[in-house]
Amino acid sequence: MKPRFALKIRDHLHDPVKKRSFNEAHFSEAASRYDIATVAMSLGRDRAWKNRLIAALPDGGAPRCVDLACGTGDIVFALAERYPQGEILGLDIAEPMLERARRRQRTDNICFERRDMCATGLEEQSVDILTGSYAIRNAPDIEPALQEISRVMKPGGVVALLDFSKSIRPSRQKLDALLLKYWCGLWGLLLHGNPEIHAYIAASLKTFPDRVELRRMLTEQGLQLTSSCSFYFGMLELLVLRKEA
């Protein structure tokens, strides 16, 4: 019988090696019901937010696109539709997520590979468009993940990141953490019999930079913010950036 997921979030978030292995195990366990969970936890809004990310990207051409932490492939397939002449690569660490993504694949300009977002193995300055939805918050360590994004981007390339966003106000941080812990934990319990599965979202924000600090870290990597907007009662943000020429 398949062993139940038994890792505890609190034992894994403060060490990049442990966070990486926690995430691989946790998202492998979550994969079978991940698509239902995102619809439920987002109150049906997840698809609309992802559409906003795609709409924020530049028009036309045949760009080389990379979707970090692609999961079951929503953004990859939307990129393939937006850029039929483009080359689209989806990267993720959890094989069960990638298996689901590959089963959905209908066009041959898409490729899914198992790689860590902190060490993609991609060539320097080789990517025109990089996306990540609910991606960088899961990086084993945020700074190396941002360095990797900056390294692989072509000058002038566009980066679009959609993720939970941490308020700069401690009182709001506490409120968001409580809401996310119980709301998402409830879906972990209903779908997997284990609140640790989706309560991870709230826990991951503890070690994630707040929105001012995140902007500073992105700027430090030569990624200039061109637009931003927030969703989900201000708990989620879409950041669109351009790699300095």
Ligand X SMILES: C[S@@+](CC[C@H](N)C(=O)[O-])C[C@H]1O[C@@H](n2cnc3c(N)ncnc32)[C@H](O)[C@@H]1O
Number of residues this chain uses to bind ligand X (CB under 6 A): 22
Q: Is 238 in the site for ligand X (CB under 6 A)?
A: no
Residue selected from 77, 83, 112, 134 as contacting ligand X according to rule CB under 6 A: 134
Q: Is 27 in the site for ligand X (CB under 6 A)?
A: yes
Q: 193-229 burial, b for 16+ CB within 10 Å, e for fewer?
A: ebbbbbbbbbbbbeebbbbeebbebbeebbbeeeeee
Q: Is 241 in the site for ligand X (CB under 6 A)?
A: no
Q: Is 150 in the site for ligand X (CB under 6 A)?
A: no
- Rank residues 53 and 214 by Cβ distance to ligand X and give the closer one: 53
Q: Is 148 in the site for ligand X (CB under 6 A)?
A: no
How many other C-beta atoms lie within 10 A of the C-beta of residue 26? 24
CA distance 59 to 63: 10
Q: Is 9 in the site for ligand X (CB under 6 A)?
A: no
Tokens of 95: 């094989």
Residue selected from 57, 66, 80, 92 as contacting ligand X according to rule CB under 6 A: 92
Secondary element (H or E) of residue 149: helix 142-152
Amino acid at 8: K
What does the binding site for ligand X look like in residue numbers (CB under 6 A)?
Answer: 20, 23, 27, 38, 69-71, 74-75, 91-94, 97, 116-117, 133-135, 138-140
